[in-house]
Chains A and B, each alone.
Chain A
Amino acid sequence: MNRLGKAFIVLGCVAVLAVASSFAQAKKTIKIALIAKNSTNPVFLAARTGAEAAAKELSAKHGIDIVIDWRTPPTEDAQVQAQRIAQAVNEGDDAILVSCSEAGKVTGAINDAVARGVPVMTFDSDAPQSKRFAFYGVDDLRTGEQVMSELAKQLGGKGKIAILAGNQNAPNLRRRVDGLKKEAAKYPGIQIVGVFNHIETPQDAAAEVLRVMNAYPDINGWGFIGGWPLFTKTLLTDLDPNKVKVVSVDALSAELPYVEKGIAPVLLAQSTYLWGYVSVEKIIDKLVLKKDVPEITRMDLVRVSKENLGTWARQLKAWGFTDVPEEYLKLP
């Protein structure tokens, strides 16, 4: 082949590549910044899995490229969340999905983002005074009431209980505590010994439970408004199911042995996978399909007990959790 022929082949290849790349570029990309409270809490990792699954499905369905831009701080810090909202806008993200560590701190950043044309949705923990277009999560007051109602059933309506309450600055957790106390007032035989806040890591939470148990050995019930300590194995050996009953919000894989052993006979699961999945659907509804999205979408809690442990385990597996113990998957 002479030089001219080779040159034509090279030019042809370049032209094909150019056309192909222009087609590739023609595919619209939607980048959604996902800013949860902290990147070490498994519930937020589940939300990320859900968001990425929704992005994949909706990308195929609508012929667009939906990308989840994970910007969650390594430790909980509302100031850093506000900074990351601003960074997402500066770097051209198309929408922002945030679980607010502290509503007051991120409200200004959310409003700035909206003013610059970037829609913001909240999940799990809301910033109701901000200009976010929607919120997806449980009714926190009702969640607290449900925890107490289930705990009262387990204790036969009498006993001393403690409340494990997570970060004292998170408005959603404070509302759950309010709900729990409100419901507890209906049971005269139940006495709340205290509300205990802690750093929201599994280890800190488990240590707090053990400290409180040492200080109040007569506690026979715990209301966990988040499942933090059950992500460790510590309480499996350190709590006696014949003496103490726990009712907790959340039911991820690591928490299931507590149901089996009877320490936590009831877990009230937030479908944390759906935080990401449903929220991304709502954002695409608004951004791409131009549909009206309700301002508040409530998530229902799932009651997990020995009776439906297998079904719940399989649900977690179907949502992409790889750490569900095999023995629970085999349960009826």
Chain B
Amino acid sequence: MHPTIRRVFNAQQSGLILVILLLGAILTVFAGSHVDRMTGRSVNNFLNFHTLTQTATDASFFAIMAVGATMVIISGGIDLSVGSIYALAGTTMAMALRSWQFSNPFVTVLVALMLCLGIGLLCGLANGVMVVGLRVHPFIITLGMMWVFRGIAFVMSKAESILVPDALTSVVKTTFGSSSALYPLPMLVMIAVTALGAIYLSRTVMGRHIYAIGGNSEASRYSGLRLGRILIGVYALSGLTAGIAAFVGISYYGSATCGDATGYELYVIASAVVGGASLSGGKGSAINAMLGAVLIVLIRQAIRQLHFDQNYEWIIIGSAIVIAVVLDQLNTRLTAKRLAKG
């Protein structure tokens, strides 16, 4: 086999990409077609720009958070509070913009972005400081903070649904000159966050430290790594990505409530795990987490497009997650055996 082709097949992402392509091919063949109301042409129900962009958009909110959550998982921790950080950042941003009423759209967008990112970062820092300072398992800390953050959003917003200014929606729903109702910005943000996450994890010293801690925290401590500082940074980054997702999501849908992103933490963790992240730490990748999110959304899409009874959605997604993880573990064991023999 040609070395380049072999490298592509051996790449960490190749399995997930193959599964996504296979599912895409099945959907293209079996999802049927319809006549487009505007052009009068027959359009494949799956393989069209609108559906593909929509699928990527739906995945983007999970995927952006999954990049940060993957870093936490690689470090050997877990972050259950990302959905609540999303809600808190979103409601705070919406309430602040409602009070301040900026006339300049640029200022509106800038302030909204700073608020979402700032609150996400602060919440993440709080998680990190407590995990390190209190020496309590991150599952417990982030479980507690999940309710605390959502509770603050609830009390602050009085459970109201708060509309965000049109300036925000028009930025996130920009069409870049394409036909209407084709909004690629959330997808582009997802790609950008994933790329930055991948570079951070694989090309920077800080990123390698995260793998080191997750792989063997004791060895990392003895080798002089400042575990506390690195862990706080990891949770801060997870909060930051939740803030980015909140900015994109709330602006895209046009309103914020304290109930936003309820239960999304499980989709986020599932995305990371389907992407090959190990809950025992030391393993995972930003690109795979994004692909994991895309795969989960694609499975949801497939249930509808192939006209399966949607009551089976949870069973199918749950089974897919278990199968993906089992296959990944099998692959890891086989690779280890092969290496041991060779």
Query: Interface on A for B, CB 8 Å cutoff?
Result: 39, 70-72, 74-75, 77-79, 82-84, 86-87, 89-92, 102-105, 107-109, 112, 115-118, 167-169, 171, 197
Contacts and interface: CB of A to CB of B under 8 A. Distances in A.
* Smallest CB-CB A-B distances: 3 pairs: A92-B34, A104-B255, A168-B159
Given A90-B54, A105-B255, A74 B311 contact: yes
A104 B173 contact: no
A74 B316 CA distance: 13
- Centre residue among A77, A79, A84, A116 by max chain B CB count within 10 A: A79
Interface in B1-51: 31, 33-38, 43, 45, 48, 50-51
B304 interface: yes
Contacts of A70: 310
B220 interface: no
Contacts of B259: 102, 167-169
Contacts of A87: 51, 54, 301, 304
B310 A115 contact: no
Given A90-B48, A102-B161, A108 B311 contact: no
Given A70-B310, A74-B313, A116-B37, A102 B51 contact: no
B108 interface: no
Contacts of A90: 45, 48, 50-51, 54
B67 to A, nearest CB: 19
A74 B50 contact: no
B314 A104 contact: no
A39 B259 CA distance: 18
Contacts, number: 98
Given A39-B310, A91-B34, A104-B163, A79 B253 contact: yes
Nearest to B181: A112
B257 A102 contact: yes
Interface residues of B, number: 43
Contact of A107 (B37, B38, B180, B254): B254
B169 A108 contact: yes
A169 B159 CA distance: 6
B58 interface: yes
Interface string B152-189: 00000001111100000100010000001100000000
Contacts of B37: 116-118
Interface string B233-264: 00000000000000001001111011111110
A49 to B, nearest CB: 15
A82 B255 CA distance: 12
Contacts of A116: 37-38, 180-181
Contacts of A118: 37
Contacts of A109: 253
Contacts of B58: 83
Given A74-B313, A91-B51, 13 more contacts: A70-B310, A71-B304, A82-B253, A86-B50, A87-B54, A87-B304, A92-B34, A107-B254, A108-B252, A108-B253, A112-B181, A115-B180, A197-B159
A93 B8 CA distance: 40
Contacts of A86: 50, 54, 181
Nearest to B254: A108
Contacts of A169: 159-161, 257-259
- Centre residue among A82, A87, A167, A171 by max chain B CB count within 10 A: A87
B49 to A, nearest CB: 9
A244 to B, nearest CB: 26
A103 B311 CA distance: 25
Contacts of B54: 83, 86-87, 90
A89 B38 CA distance: 12
Nearest to B49: A90
Contacts of B263: 75, 77
A105 B61 CA distance: 15
A104 B254 contact: yes
Contacts of A82: 253
- Centre residue among B34, B160, B259, B260 by max chain A CB count within 10 A: B259
Contacts of A115: 180-181
A70 B313 CA distance: 13
B310 A74 contact: yes
Contact of A105 (B45, B50, B173, B253): B253
- Centre residue among B173, B258, B310 by max chain A CB count within 10 A: B310
